[in-house]
Amino acid sequence: MAKEAIKKIKLQIEAGKATPAPPVGTVLGPAGINLQDFCTKYNEATREKMGDVLPVEISIYEDRSFDFVIKTPPTAFLLKKFAKIKKGSTKGSNEVIATISKSTLKEIAEIKLPDLNAYTVEEAMKIVAGTAKNMGIAIEGEE
């Protein structure tokens, strides 16, 4: 019989840089899992994505064992990375602070597709475009 998870924890940790110190330690410590073991496994799994912030969903079981699922980077993080900006607009869609091409939008949508509620890349592109608009990032060829 499969083990039943007693707790699920969601975190966003920079790839390859998990340490038992806060914020990881303060969230996972009370759950009773081996922090060093988690950090080692997470850093091994995310080594090739160094520099990206990755959401991780950790399932903790009764015997204090755990497993985790690494998701794709947040859309806002990817948009900032590709548009080469530090943060989004403070005025939202009323202020354009950067522009990305359709091909960049498609690339981000392809990266995000497994975690989005979309079946095609075109649907994913619409979701990513909405996030971009709210961050003040324009898409070439669109109003």
Per-residue pLDDT tens digits for 73-115? 888 888 888 888 888 778 877 888 888 888 888 998 888 888 8
Residue-level pLDDT at 2? 62
Using alpha carbons, list the distances in angstroms from residue 17 to 22, 38, 132: 12, 12, 27
**CATH architecture entry for 5-70:** 2-Layer Sandwich (3.30)
Choose among 101, 85, 103, 89: nearest CA to 131.
89
Res. 23: pLDDT tops 60: yes
What are the pLDDT digits (tens) for 39-52?
Answer: 888 888 888 888 88
Domain boundary assignment for the chain: 5-70, 75-139
- Report domain 75-139's class: mainly alpha
Full-model pTM = 0.76
Separation of alpha carbons 33 and 63, rounded Å: 9
